[in-house]
Chain A
Amino acid sequence: MKFPGLTRFSLQNLFGPIAVLTILTFFLDRASSSLQLMTQLALCTFMMVLALQVFVGNSGVLSFGHGSFALLGSYVSGMLTAPVNIKSHALALNQLWHFLIPLKTNIYIALIISAVLSALVAGLTGILLMRLSGLASGIATFALLGVTYNIFFNNKQLGPGSQALPAVPTITNTYILLILILIAIFFVYLFNISRSGRSLRATREDPMAAPALGISIFKVRLIAFVFSGLLAGLSGGMYVHVAGTFQVQDYYLDFTFTTLSMLIVGGSASIWGALVGTILITGVGQILLMMEQHLPIFGVTIGIPLGSRAVIIAVTFVAMLLWRSSGITNGREFSLPRFKRS
């Protein structure tokens, strides 16, 4: 396959990632409480990587702005569910706008609201941003992230500012997160094989030829941007209900680069690539963390000096790009190995 990405519906393409994710979650969820938390956080991260796949993977345009949608989703969902007395009495929040204090809904309604709001903001900003391409687009999306972060970090009427919003109710059941992800995978898959998805990949492969075939680059990018903004908002919302606190700093540069590198390492052109990248980077990170703490891994204890984890992860990432710049999966979707008869 020369140009990665799907055109036809294929059961193994869709159910491969679903099966792998479900099985992994099943085993990790019951392994230990620390692994359970890691799994829950990884599921939220994967939702974000999936969101990036929809836009960055299919359009080939880098976006550093998705952190804003995750931040927004997380903020909305956190503020809508945090206990009223926390919002009115916690010291840091004294300057909060009054109409924000009594707002209170249940987690799932909050998640839906956060996703819809993020999609709306993505649509409004997308109308401006999707006119740009190339480096200008990269910097403009970065500017979006910069503005969002700057406002939320400094404005104490809007939210907790530089402090944390505590006591956000949590989702403790991993399978609820898993189901949300599986639904998302299903819809992303449908989008990727849809007319819009295919048109978008056409603009990625040849931005000159695609318009000649009647594809409006602006339109197909905008559709993808809105959909991926929705997923990013949802990922932020899920994250806040796993972590139990909302903090603006969680959605800035580190977050943006980590999720983008997961996508690129796995192979940005496919859902399977997004999954492989997330599993790999989370897995390597977890193993190195256990090594740093001198914990046994499958009964073997290998210690590494404190602080070397971050270096190893970053070096691995760069080495991976040198070795295979289009990602481990080369942008292919999941397929069972085929045995050729000789």
Chain B
Amino acid sequence: MVQSILDAISLGGLYALAALGLGLVFGVMRLVNFAHGELITIAAYTLVLTVQFPLIVSILITVIVTSLVAFLMELTIYRRLRGVNPAIMLIASFGLSTVLQRVYELIFGALPKSAVVAPFLSGAFSIGGLSITISSVITVVLTVIILLAMGYLVERTSLGLQLRAAAADFKTARLLGVRANRLISAAFVLSGILASCVAFILVIQNPEVNPYYGLNITILALVGIVIGGISSLRGAALGGFIVGVILSALNTLLGNGRVYAYSWLFFAVLIILLVKPGGLLSKGNELERV
């Protein structure tokens, strides 16, 4: 029971991190960056392939590589699409996501690459007769730390203020002196860093990295930001968390019927959207055209 709750929280936290990465980018340029999953994938590959280095070095390389990919993604593709209909941007990001998947397949091969990253994090310990896996505790702790750090960054720093302002109203923010190019690049780099964090946690749980590694979590995080309310970062994180918790709870409760967990999840999503189309944290009915 304790393990189940811990699993639910850790999965929720993980999805919240992924949703936050998507939400940051959406906030500054109304882009649902589907290729975020491929940032997670490249981070996971880097972690697995640099396993011979000390953990800190490996993580550092991963963060740098992933942020660089995110930065270049914006510079080469999305910068040219700025101001285009959001639907087109979404489709373009699907395209980019496919490009990256195929490129990974070409470079790393279709078969999964795996390595045990941070072996001291696997295994279990027991408190009062309850067996608890170390990785779930670490995930919860890590997620909380990262979310707190992100919270500090977004709420207390100048960059965070600009990000929030841009998310609320990009045009007005620009008029008030927010530098668009710099801010958008910063958002992408941040989303790259978040993707590295997500990848680190994922790799501990499942070290088999294939070209489609980040796809599933991205879809679910995407669902999360929409039900949470895409126009605020808090909503995005909350939505991601909810999706993770629901999915984890379904997996525990459904027993043999767990193959249908996704059906129930999507069904819940449909209901939430019909009741609150703007997301759980939305106040009024805003019209957003995608």
Contact = CB atoms under 8 A, between A and B. Distances in A.
Given A132-B274, A133-B289, A135-B290, A318 B77 contact: yes
Nearest to B109: A307
A310 interface: yes
Contacts, number: 127
Contact of B99 (A60, A150, A311): A311
A305 to B, nearest CB: 8
A257 interface: yes
A131 interface: yes
B287 interface: yes
Interface string B210-235: 00000000010011001100100000
Interface centre among B95, B103, B106, B269 (most CB of A within 10 A): B95
B226 to A, nearest CB: 4
Interface in B247-265: 259-260, 262-263
Given A150-B262, A307-B105, A307-B106, A139 B226 contact: yes
A241 B196 CA distance: 46
Interface centre among B32, B259, B288, B290 (most CB of A within 10 A): B290
A124 to B, nearest CB: 13
B172 to A, nearest CB: 20
Interface in A69-127: none
B244 interface: no
B106 A132 contact: no
B86 to A, nearest CB: 8
Contact of A143 (B84, B92, B259, B266): B266
A136 B273 contact: yes
Given A311-B103, A314-B102, A322-B81, A143 B260 contact: no
B20 to A, nearest CB: 17
A139 B289 contact: no
Contact of B77 (A62, A143, A154, A322): A322
A337 to B, nearest CB: 27
B267 interface: yes
A243 interface: no
B267 A315 contact: no
Contacts of B269: 139-140, 143
A101 B222 CA distance: 40
Size class of the contact patch on chain B: 35 or more
Nearest to A312: B102
A314 B99 contact: yes
Contacts of A138: 87, 90, 226, 290
Mostly, the A contact residues are: helix
B88 interface: yes
B8 interface: no
A320 B81 CA distance: 12
B102 to A, nearest CB: 4
A322 B93 CA distance: 11
A299 interface: no
A132 B263 contact: no
Contacts of B274: 128, 131-132, 140
A207 B273 contact: no
B280 to A, nearest CB: 12
A224 interface: no
Given A60-B87, A61-B87, A136-B273, 16 more contacts: A132-B274, A135-B288, A135-B290, A136-B277, A137-B290, A139-B226, A142-B223, A143-B267, A150-B259, A151-B263, A307-B102, A310-B102, A311-B99, A314-B99, A322-B77, A325-B85
Interface of B: 32, 77, 80-81, 84-88, 90-92, 94-96, 98-99, 102-103, 105-106, 219, 222-223, 226-227, 230, 259-260, 262-263, 266-267, 269-270, 273-274, 277-279, 287-290
8 contacts: A60-B87, A134-B290, A135-B288, A143-B267, A308-B106, A311-B103, A314-B95, A321-B88
The 5 closest A-B pairs by CB, nearest first: A143-B266, A134-B288, A314-B99, A154-B259, A314-B98
